[in-house]
Amino acid sequence: MSGKTYALSDLVRKRAVWKEEKRKVVFTNGVFDILHRGHGEYLAAAKQLGDVLIVGVNSDASVRCIKGPLRPIVPEDDRAYLVSQLVPVDAVCIFAEETPLSIISALVPDVLVKGADWDVNDVIGKDVVEAAGGTVRTIPFVPNRSTTTIIDVIKARYTEPVLPRSVGTPSEKIPLGKA
């Protein structure tokens, strides 16, 4: 892979170096389908819990299993690239399973982070991280910021029979598909 996006085998080697350097490694994961402020604030808060932030991004196939056949909107390579460009993120790895257990088991981060919608006791990989002396934390969400909310707004706005015209008189309307 390129930039800050790694194959798991390469990331395991980097993890060993970070461990040798006594750097605290934080891991989180998600779909990151349509990036928004909530993602940015969540990842910034996760980074504050350690020195290195690794983000697992669900593959397209795993997203379809979790979210249904209409998701993801954005392909996995694009999602991984966009997440990797965020300042708090040090490394990204795409994983194909429905849960991140295999990547967590391979990396054994010092801190495992999930959103506050998870009960700490239900976080996948908790046992692996805690057995190695690490911790599991949750981070609150930014209210009213989610990919589902964005999709709902888009659906509502673009399923109207007519849209206001951006030029001309305010009362002019044009049918969809004729803009």
What does pLDDT average to over the chain? 90
Quick one: pLDDT at residue 100? 97
Quick one: pLDDT at residue 161? 64
pLDDT tens-digit map of 80-106:
999 999 999 999 999 999 999 999 999
- Alpha-carbon distance of 179 to 164, in angstroms, equals 10
Indicate the fold that domain 8-145 takes in CATH.
Rossmann fold (3.40.50)
Quick one: pLDDT at residue 179? 42
pLDDT tens-digit map of 23-33:
999 999 999 99
pLDDT tens-digit map of 129-178:
999 999 999 999 887 788 888 988 888 888 866 555 665 544 444 444 44
Residue (of 121, 161, 155) closest to 137 by Cα position: 121
Quick one: pLDDT at residue 67? 92
pLDDT tens-digit map of 52-79:
999 999 999 999 999 999 999 999 999 9
Residue (of 48, 61, 63, 42) closest to 114 by Cα position: 42
Q: What angle do CA 58, 59, 63 make, to 5 degrees?
A: 70
- Alpha-carbon distance of 39 to 30, in angstroms, equals 9
Quick one: pLDDT at residue 176? 46
CA dist 31 → 11, 59, 93, 126, 133 (Å): 19, 8, 12, 19, 27
Quick one: pLDDT at residue 72? 96
Q: Residue 111: is its pLDDT beyond 60?
A: yes
Pairing of strands 52-58, 91-95: parallel
Residue extents of the structural domains in the chain: 8-145
Q: Residue 16: is its pLDDT beyond 80?
A: yes
pTM of the model: 0.86
